[in-house]
Amino acid sequence: MSVTLHTGSFLHAPRGEAEGMALAALAVEAGRIVAFDSQAKLSERYPEALCIAHPGLIVPGFVDAHVHFPQLAMAGAHGESLLDWLDRYTFPAELEFANARHAQTRARQFVGMLRRAGTTNAMIFGVSFPKAMRALFETLNEAGMGGATGLVWMNQEGPDGLLSSTEECRAASEALLSEFCSVGSLRYAVLPRFVPSCSPKMLQAAGDFLQAHPDLLLQSHLSESLDEVKWVQQLYPKATDYTDVYEQFGLLGRRSSYAHGIHLSDKELQRLSATKTRLVHCPSANLYLGSGLFDYRRAKSAGVEVALGSDVGAGTSLCLLDVLRDFYGVQMVQGNRLSVGEMLHLATQAGADLLGMTDETGSFEPGKRADFVALRPKWDDLFAARWAQCSSMEEQFFAAAMLGGTSAIASTTIAGQTTVHPG
Ligand SMILES: [Zn+2]
């Protein structure tokens, strides 16, 4: 197997602080990073290597920790809050995936759009139909994309077409898990939509399924809007809070993560921290649905690990650069200052940690998959003006997040396979 040298300026944040190296190279063999060092040293070590120079800045591939496969067509629909949004846009969009051909077309589009957005690994909320999930698993495997996905579990509070019994969900999940998750870079995720969509029996079955399979991950939604929190309190009057409902069914733990967590009490944050349960902050979606402002500093000081999600279709962009811009704004209005290293870490290594892929992706450490994104040094006059003033790679990355989005992504490399995106 031959070595390819990717050369340029590299910035990553494996531990939370930004670490940059100019005139550097990444040696890639069979889809993995075999060395990360100065260009001079690696050119000498691999004189025969094919050399690919990337102008601009190279960062690790983005890890989207919460994105919905069946919700592309509803992104950008006008004017609803969470619970109306589910009835009016989400459920009709998801019902279309009962048609296997539609699901297959959308799977190809979805994976292509993730790659175009610089996402190389993701935690993907699936849909209720096993055939549609097969199409997604196959397409992700073909693209070499890593992460986790699974069937959505839901047996109440939705249109009949999206509901399945607990037994059906468990059997279909077992089948998908054994067919698609023993090879490649995909793990299976059990995905109860959220408390109101699942009967107590179904939530308990999700907890039992998680315990029965040590490689399984779990993701759901928690405390996104105040109306939702009130609804859960009515459904479970004896529970101390929303988080307590998930805990009762064995759904907290180091393999579990929850999107949002905006309206949590100190006690709930303490339970998440004590059980090593993670939160996924989705600032674009939170702004869009008016759900509230997630206090990143408060969650972190309570000891809760946080990753970043686009939450498309409530989110308005699949590109985590756009999501970082909203993250920055949502934290700034709450008086939370963020370093560039923290921002880059959140969009890359934090998502890898959530997926149980700490040693697999998220930075340029040798041994990891060669998952990275090259950012364009120039795509419009505003950015070119800023770039010309940047005196560090951190400033360049920040400018790409504030002013760039998808147009800043020049190429995406997934497990060593580079796709160039013409400007
Ligand atoms: Zn979501």
Gap from CA of 220 to ligand 1 centroid (Å): 8
Gap from CA of 259 to ligand 1 centroid (Å): 6
22: pLDDT strictly greater than 80: yes
* Best CA proximity match to 152, nearest among 105, 190, 183, 185: 190
Q: Which residues belong to CATH 3.20.20.140 in the chain? A: 62-318
| Beta bridge partners of residue 24, listed in sequence order | 8, 38
Gap from CA of 354 to ligand 1 centroid (Å): 16
pLDDT digits (tens, 9 = 90+) for 188-231: 999 999 999 999 999 999 999 999 999 999 999 999 999 999 99
Reduced to 3 states (helix: H, G, I; strand: E, B; else coil), residue 217 is strand
Rounded-to-integer distance, Cα 374 and Cα 59, Å: 7
| For the chain, percent of residues with pLDDT exceeding 70 | 100
Gap from CA of 68 to ligand 1 centroid (Å): 6
Q: Which residues belong to CATH 2.30.40.10 in the chain? A: 3-60+364-420
pLDDT digits (tens, 9 = 90+) for 262-312: 999 999 999 999 999 999 999 999 999 999 999 999 999 999 999 999 999
Among 169-173, 347-351, 373-377, the least confident range: 373-377
Superfamily of domain 62-318: Metal-dependent hydrolases (3.20.20.140)
Q: Are 221 and 193 in contact (CB under 8 A)?
A: yes
In this prediction, residue 371 has a pLDDT band, given cuts at 50, 70 and 90, of very high
Rounded-to-integer distance, Cα 309 and Cα 346, Å: 9
Q: What are the helix (H) ranges across 144-193? A: 166-180
184: pLDDT strictly greater than 80: no
Q: pTM for this one? A: 0.97
Gap from CA of 356 to ligand 1 centroid (Å): 20
Gap from CA of 48 to ligand 1 centroid (Å): 47
Of the candidate CATH numbers 3.30.1380.10, 2.30.40.10, 3.20.20.70, 2.120.10.30, the domain formed by 3-60+364-420 belongs to: 2.30.40.10
In this prediction, residue 422 has a pLDDT band, given cuts at 50, 70 and 90, of confident
Gap from CA of 66 to ligand 1 centroid (Å): 6
In this prediction, residue 423 has a pLDDT band, given cuts at 50, 70 and 90, of confident
Gap from CA of 42 to ligand 1 centroid (Å): 43
pLDDT at 378: 79
pLDDT at 78: 83
156: pLDDT strictly greater than 80: yes
